């Protein structure tokens, strides 16, 4: 006899059959992704003829024996002129005021989930948020043991009344993108405070990824344990269980066409170091396959400084390196530093504007060709010993300077004995010349390598250089 959760899963695994229905991403006020085939899908009566019409184009399909149907309308250019999307079978559905533009997934845990009304300067930002060319889709915080196809959510117009509880980082980035590209922007918020990357991944995500053999086995054991229990027997913080958020919050939206993804997650995985970079590879592969976009851009926010561990002060820097390593190794990914956007004793810094602006600038440069390469993070390239000093070269240096006009901060130098000492750095021609009177023959350098470090080395646009340890590879 099946347990009650299995029966519930089977009942919710598909749309109800009968009247034609669409996937939950389709509603009034939605945005369709421009310049790519428009995928529309849903369910109906087996054998039912379904006709989908948008603007001047119509395509038909027949529901298969399971009641599933799908059509793929031709790509359409951006348009801020609202139109009707019609789906007609035994019954007719009409979705009004549908725009065509760019859609961005806003994904993560509490710092992505954090609502606009709760940030520094919220009152003026919310008051000015009226914009009919930005549309918001809030995915509810729900979980499922198995992939679901249902979701209780609708697109909304962006107004001061609707934006207050929406992701602040997502909205601020979307606002800047829309202002720059002058086409409609749809924002889909998929975030839940405290979630792990495993929860946002599918069951098959970790298979075949080198370095994740242990993770894959652990996830399988956790799923088996989960499936042996009733809901009431599971941990209360379901967002930390593997696959359950992907099943309930992501799978129902796929394979909707989107432009790209903003990823601000990791606080709950921060202690993992290098393996997190491999988990990002697994997540990227899964989401790109699910949204039928093998080149889906993924933009990573390096976690802001926070005093996670008073004794293990390099845990977060090693996590930063893992985030950077993924971004550097994936041709469709990018990352921003946020060392100047944290609060040592508050994991939820309220001033989200500088971080969001930096993220928007990166997206605009890499995905739209707007702006210049000062949006890119200055990164360690190599260090060469020279006359008792280390000469450090950077990628994307772009006018290295210090933010405050003071000497470069958070430099630690070590010799063959491995003992680190405070060091001094001089900027010359976008290189950093580092020395310490206590290290005659330096072999290793750390910069900003501390959980709460906020180093002052930036490029000409004020983008902070990425923290590094010359012994920790990032590419």
Q: What are 248-263's pLDDT values in tens digits?
A: 999 999 999 999 999 9
Determine the pLDDT at residue 310.
77
CATH of domain 99-371: 3.40.50.1110
Q: Residue 311 — pLDDT band, cuts 50, 70, 90?
A: confident
293: Cβ–Cβ under 8 A, 6 or more apart, which residues? 257, 258
Q: Residue 462 — pLDDT band, cuts 50, 70, 90?
A: very high
Please say whether the beta carbons of 113 and 200 come within 8 A: no
- Write the pLDDT tens digit of every residue in 154-181: 999 999 999 999 999 999 999 999 999 9
User: Average pLDDT, stretch 219-240?
Assistant: 97
Asked whether residue 91 carries a pLDDT value surpassing 60, the answer given is yes
- Write the pLDDT tens digit of every residue in 261-281: 999 999 999 999 999 999 999
> Which of 9-18, 307-316, 349-358 is modeled with the greatest confidence?
349-358
Asked whether residue 14 carries a pLDDT value surpassing 70, the answer given is no
Asked whether residue 7 carries a pLDDT value surpassing 80, the answer given is no
Report the C-alpha gap between 149 and 249 in whole angstroms: 9
Q: Residue 17 — pLDDT band, cuts 50, 70, 90?
A: low
Asked whether residue 4 carries a pLDDT value surpassing 50, the answer given is no
Please say whether the beta carbons of 186 and 135 come within 8 A: yes
Determine the pLDDT at residue 12.
46
Q: Point out which residues pair with 52 in neighbouring strands.
A: 59, 87
Q: Mean of the per-residue pLDDT values for the chain?
A: 95
Residues composing the chain: 475
Beta strands in 274-429 (DSSP E): 298-301, 333-336, 379-386, 389-395, 401-402, 411-414, 420-422, 424-428
What stretch(es) of the chain map to CATH 3.40.50.1110?
Answer: 99-371
Determine the pLDDT at residue 8.
46
Q: Residue 337 — pLDDT band, cuts 50, 70, 90?
A: very high
pLDDT more than 70, % of the chain: 96
Determine the pLDDT at residue 469.
98
Residue 425 half-sphere exposure toward CB, CA atoms < 13 A: 31
Phi, psi torsion values for 315, nearest 5 degrees: -60, -50
Please say whether the beta carbons of 103 and 259 come within 8 A: yes
Asked whether residue 3 carries a pLDDT value surpassing 90, the answer given is no
pLDDT more than 90, % of the chain: 95
214: number of Cβ within 10 Å: 10
User: Average pLDDT, stretch 4-16?
Assistant: 47
Q: Point out which residues pair with 135 in neighbouring strands.
A: 157, 186
3-state SS assignment for residue 233:
helix
Determine the pLDDT at residue 391.
98
């Amino acid at each position: 006899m099946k347990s009650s959760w299995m029966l519930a899963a089977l009942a919710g695994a598909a749309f109800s059959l009968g009247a034609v229905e669409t996937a939950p991403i389709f509603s009034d006020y939605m945005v369709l992704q421009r310049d790519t085939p428009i995928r529309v899908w849903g369910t109906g009566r087996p054998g039912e003829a379904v006709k989908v019409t948008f603007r001047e184009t119509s395509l038909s399909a027949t529901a298969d024996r399971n009641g599933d149907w799908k059509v793929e309308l031709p790509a359409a250019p951006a348009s801020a002129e609202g139109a009707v999307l019609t789906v007609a079978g035994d019954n007719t559905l009409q979705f009004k005021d549908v725009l065509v533009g760019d859609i961005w997934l806003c994904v993560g845990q509490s710092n992505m989930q954090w609502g606009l009304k709760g940030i520094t300067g919220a009152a003026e930002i919310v008051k000015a948020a009226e914009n009919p060319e930005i549309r918001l889709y809030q995915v509810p915080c729900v979980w499922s043991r198995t992939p679901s196809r249902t979701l209780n959510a609708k697109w909304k117009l962006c107004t001061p009344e609707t934006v207050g509880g929406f992701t602040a980082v997502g909205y601020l980035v979307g606002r800047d993108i829309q202002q720059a590209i002058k086409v409609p922007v749809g924002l889909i918020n998929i975030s839940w405070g405290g979630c792990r990357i495993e929860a946002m991944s599918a069951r098959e995500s970790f298979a075949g990824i080198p370095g994740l053999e242990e993770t894959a086995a652990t996830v399988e054991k956790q799923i088996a344990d989960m499936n042996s229990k009733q809901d009431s027997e599971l941990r209360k913080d379901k967002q930390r269980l593997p696959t359950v958020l992907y099943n309930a919050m992501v799978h129902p939206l796929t394979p909707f066409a989107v432009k790209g993804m903003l990823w601000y997650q990791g606080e709950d995985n921060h202690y993992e170091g290098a393996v997190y970079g491999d988990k990002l590879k697994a997540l990227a592969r899964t989401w790109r396959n699910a949204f039928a976009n093998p080149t889906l851009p993924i933009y990573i926010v390096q976690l802001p400084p926070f005093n996670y561990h008073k004794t293990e002060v390099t845990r977060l820097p090693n996590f930063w390196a893992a985030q950077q390593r993924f971004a550097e190794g994936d041709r469709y990914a990018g990352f921003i530093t946020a060392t100047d956007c944290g609060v040592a004793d508050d994991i939820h810094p309220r001033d989200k504007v500088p971080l969001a602006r930096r993220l928007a600038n990166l997206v605009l440069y890499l995905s739209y060709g707007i702006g210049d390469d000062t949006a890119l993070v200055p990164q360690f390239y190599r260090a060469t010993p020279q006359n008792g000093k280390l000469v450090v070269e950077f990628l994307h240096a772009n006018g290295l300077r210090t933010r405050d006009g003071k000497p470069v901060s958070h430099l630690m130098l070590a010799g063959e004995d491995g003992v680190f000492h405070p060091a001094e750095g001089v900027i010359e021609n976008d290189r950093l010349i580092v020395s310490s009177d206590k290290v005659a023959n330096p072999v290793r350098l750390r910069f900003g390598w501390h959980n709460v470090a906020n180093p002052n080395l930036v490029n000409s646009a004020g983008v902070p250089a990425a923290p590094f340890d010359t012994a920790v590879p990032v590419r």
